[in-house]
Structure 1
């Protein structure tokens, strides 16, 4: 009986850290050899460079670093193990997204990715040329095909591998998370396995990289498309599969199917992982945020504490004359519940100093949103000063609904380095707060129950300026994520005046979003890598 002991190395790499990533590959393979002779260790896409390396790939020294890494791996792995590794590979001046199989100190096979994604967050055609040949390598007598990520989303590469004689397919991935992604992968890979008539092992990376979060969830399906093994999501780890090449009914053993996360749990974990990796990989000591007593900052604080621990989080309440006593109390109570450092710094004297300095400039004008924005900017100055002094990252607290329509202040509440909720619609903010409270006391109930308010004016409510959030978020999802036109949204049952107003706000506030901090992407289309609209434009509203 021929059995392949396959280790799915669900790794959290650091982009650009060729030395660190290389050492981790070597260490992982050597650990695997302690468990099984001649293991097949499968790593994610572009493991050596990390994913996505973006314009680092344009640096002339990348070729040298890749070659040095491969030489080091080959020198270290001279035994019977098989290491299947992704890396950028330049040949005759052409750069490929490649995967190599290293065995007994040599690269015995190399595959070049055939399908290069160039949509949403992906930009691979900017860097790579596509390969055009399948790769099937003999591993202990089993013909094993190799493909990379997007290749599995198209039919041809899998069928080409089958035609070339593959009995098993290894698919290396750096597939980012969005809500609903896990079931999409399972269904798609099952379809490919049935069409090709062989089992497929799908290995995905895990971890946060700027706005992207990779959720792991590596898995395997048999030739009938039946899911037979699945690793956890959002957890780095090494997961064994045992493949019996002679068994048709049960080719895999060794790993159960971990229960899939429900969507709320998955979203929560994505936010936590995105914040944790951004803070830690960039070397920040901790984070500081303005805790207003409102629901957005409450959820942001909860995410930060889960990601980093309470000792690395500082919450600052910055009251003004319009701040309610309820807000002051609720901010203090949440800080107490979570055990974080809680400071209170009034912005009243700072605001008055600014107004005194601006007295001549403002003479003869009426009070308007300028004074409201000034309050937010006073708070932004305080938080950025704490950040500079303590080496803490400022977490901003704006949600996707606010970012969409510009309900935010440049250099005020938008001042900071990372926005955990940037891709979280307001209605989902409420749902996530309720979910978080099921895990233990965290967010005071009246924070969830009270009408949202920026508290920049007397008795101010968000809905004084915006449609109800349940209506707003429906319109935004259709326009931003589904690319529906104004007329199509209206035809779907939304009020014409509200649609036209919301779409205009989205379009004219692109300039604000360009200056906003990045944040965790959890939907099919966030404001960032996968939505790039011009600021200066004659585009008609809602087209």
Structure 2
């Protein structure tokens, strides 16, 4: 357990009906196996000590006494381990029998969580043997120790304030108002469920949806352990479908009809960040809850969790295609509304032959189609300058013609040369003045052509550039509507690729594929041997890394050290660790220093879970100091 990650497990042991000794042996074997894997929270199925399908044998005292003895053995087997273990057990209290989840750690029974909702329909007859559980905890005696028993019990970790565990038992999840809702409102970030849910056709899909949905609704992790092979098959079959979910995502799922253990590393810090961010998520205190404190040692096992190296881009090809179509529609619909509201029949796009301007032109064409405006009203302006190469120039011209837009060419060389003479700048000095003078001249041309045609200047800059401040203030930084403002660079590439694959025009697809193969560059410095000399990623760092950093900075506000650890885990095979650290330092410096550019961004649509608009996701002061974040990274060195 480090950096808010906790390894958890759900296990379905082999069982024999009413053979408590055998069942207890298998539970203890499971505890030992989990300990070797570095598990900190382990969950077994409902009534695992006896088996769920004992039926009327639950009325027999020998079975109940044996179950208590089995629990004693489990408690004893836990000595020396800080693992939190939940296992289902029947328990007699005040002359009635209750279906409970026992929580055990390091030689102690920490609590007995009662099952609140007893199914007594279809194939279930639990009310025949058990009494409905109660909320407020009472005190029971277990081998001389006082132990809380009830539904409203939370297990809170001393060392990790974000680790608070609540439990429910099987049917509790399936009802209109599950106890886990109350647990989460009281601060539980992890819900465990000791379950015995039988298999019927289609039920596994519903069960998976139910568990992942509940984890999303509660902004919590959900560990579900289900009964499996070994239960009585007199009338039912149990498939042992174990699931570990976190905020709507299934982290691990067992193979059905095969007993065993699944593990996953849950991210408590991510859950806590989501709860802080979502103002409609409201905890309501711990009234009537018994809080049981427990302690966990810090461990340093390598992460088993998959960390997506491209968090803005779906890894599944089918999901990626669906996402690309959705984003293109969001961008186009945003521009459509602006065109209709302003009654503009024209749009002006500066087309360079690079990725961003290509995407902006494609989106503009789609928006015009939605508006029923002829594409010839799109003015695509190529503005060759000192750094323009034949490759990008030709791609820009060909693409414009195929799309049916009007092509205009306005060279900036003469105007910029005169401007440099006017301000007394040596044209042979290729500094920031040399570069930004070209960018501002291009923006002036676009704005003036928009005035001529009664149109809007369509911004081309993407979210990654805005995060890094890689834009000329009041140059390419400015437009009348920025269609790419919510799209990170790594996603721009996939959107253009998707358009190439689905446009149905071989000539256009070939051009788009060549654009994809062209190095990212502002083309503001003279070419070398006719090829691009100024490569953006050589100057500011790989966008793959910066988009990774951007995602976790914007969405969760993690510590820089944690982001570094995640980046090493996800991208450490692609980049040396010192390279990741170098560009992470660059990211923070630029992100803070360049906020003034983002504070006055043009309008543009948000397309994903994060954005940098000052009217949306990022309300950041332009003069914030980066010291805290940089110092933490220096400590890593």
Q: TM-score, normalised on structure 2?
A: 0.44
Corresponding residue of 2:409: 344
Could you tell me how far apart the structure 1 residues matched to 2:357 and 2:628 are?
32
CA distance change for structure 1 residues 293 and 365 in 2, over 3 Å: closer, same or farther?
closer
Offset of residue 481 of structure 1: 2.4
Deviation by residue 1:121-143 (Cα, 9 ceiling, x = unmatched): xxxxxxxxxxxxxxxxxxxxxxx
Deviation by residue 1:185-215 (Cα, 9 ceiling, x = unmatched): x9479979xxxxxxxxxxxxxxxxxxxxxxx
Say if 2:418 is the partner of 1:353.
yes
CA distance change for structure 1 residues 353 and 363 in 2, over 3 Å: closer, same or farther?
closer
Q: 2:444 aligns with which of 377, 381, 399?
A: 381
Decide whether the 8 Å contact of 1:351 with 1:375 is kept in 2. Answer: yes
CA distance change for structure 1 residues 325 and 531 in 2, over 3 Å: closer, same or farther?
same
CA distance change for structure 1 residues 191 and 452 in 2, over 3 Å: closer, same or farther?
closer
Offset of residue 287 of structure 1: 1.0
Corresponding residue of 2:619: 532
Deviation by residue 1:54-80 (Cα, 9 ceiling, x = unmatched): xxxxxxxxxxxxxxxxxxxxxxxxxxx
Say if 2:524 is the partner of 1:456.
yes
SS for the counterpart of 2:451 is helix
Corresponding residue of 1:317: 382
Corresponding residue of 1:262: 322
Q: What does 1:61-76 correspond to in 2, within 5 Å?
A: none
Corresponding residue of 2:171: none
Say if 2:447 is the partner of 1:414.
no
Say which one has the larger Rg: 2
Corresponding residue of 1:303: 363
Could you tell me how far apart the structure 1 residues matched to 2:455 and 2:581 are?
45
Corresponding residue of 2:540: 466
SS for the counterpart of 1:394 is strand
Q: What does 1:143-542 correspond to in 2, within 5 Å?
A: 187=213, 262-309=322-369, 310-359=375-424, 362=425, 366-440=429-503, 441=505, 442=508, 444=511, 445-458=513-526, 459-494=533-568, 495-528=580-613, 529-540=616-627, 542=629
Could you tell me how far apart the structure 1 residues matched to 2:443 and 2:628 are?
32
Could you tell me how far apart the structure 1 residues matched to 2:216 and 2:525 are?
56
CA distance change for structure 1 residues 408 and 329 in 2, over 3 Å: closer, same or farther?
same
CA distance change for structure 1 residues 461 and 395 in 2, over 3 Å: closer, same or farther?
same
Corresponding residue of 1:136: none
Offset of residue 539 of structure 1: 4.8
Offset of residue 482 of structure 1: 2.5
Offset of residue 355 of structure 1: 0.8
Offset of residue 534 of structure 1: 0.5
Offset of residue 353 of structure 1: 1.4
Corresponding residue of 1:220: none
Could you tell me how far apart the structure 1 residues matched to 2:345 and 2:449 are?
12
Moved over 4 A (4+): 186-192, 363-366
CA distance change for structure 1 residues 188 and 339 in 2, over 3 Å: closer, same or farther?
farther
Could you tell me how far apart the structure 1 residues matched to 2:560 and 2:610 are?
18
Q: Structure 1: state its 5+ residue gaps.
A: 1-154, 157-182, 193-258
CA distance change for structure 1 residues 190 and 470 in 2, over 3 Å: closer, same or farther?
closer
Deviation by residue 1:506-540 (Cα, 9 ceiling, x = unmatched): 11110011122121101222111121000122353
Could you tell me how far apart the structure 1 residues matched to 2:482 and 2:421 are?
32
Decide whether the 8 Å contact of 1:486 with 1:500 is kept in 2. Answer: no
Could you tell me how far apart the structure 2 residues matched to 1:411 and 1:467 are?
23
Q: Structure 2: state its 5+ residue gaps.
A: 1-180, 183-208, 219-317, 370-374, 527-532, 569-579, 631-637
Offset of residue 339 of structure 1: 0.6
Note the aligned Cα RMSD (angstroms).
Answer: 2.9
Could you tell me how far apart the structure 2 residues matched to 1:307 and 1:291 are?
17
Could you tell me how far apart the structure 2 residues matched to 1:329 and 1:539 are?
43
Q: TM-score, normalised on structure 1?
A: 0.51
Decide whether the 8 Å contact of 1:504 with 1:541 is kept in 2. Answer: no
Deviation by residue 1:369-426 (Cα, 9 ceiling, x = unmatched): 1110000011011001111222111011001110000111012112211111111111
Could you tell me how far apart the structure 2 residues matched to 1:457 and 1:366 are?
10
How many residue pairs were aligned?
296
After superposing the two structures, state which structure 1 stretch, 375-384 or 495-504, moved more.
Answer: 495-504
Decide whether the 8 Å contact of 2:548 with 2:567 is kept in 1. Answer: no
SS for the counterpart of 2:567 is coil
Decide whether the 8 Å contact of 1:373 with 1:412 is kept in 2. Answer: yes
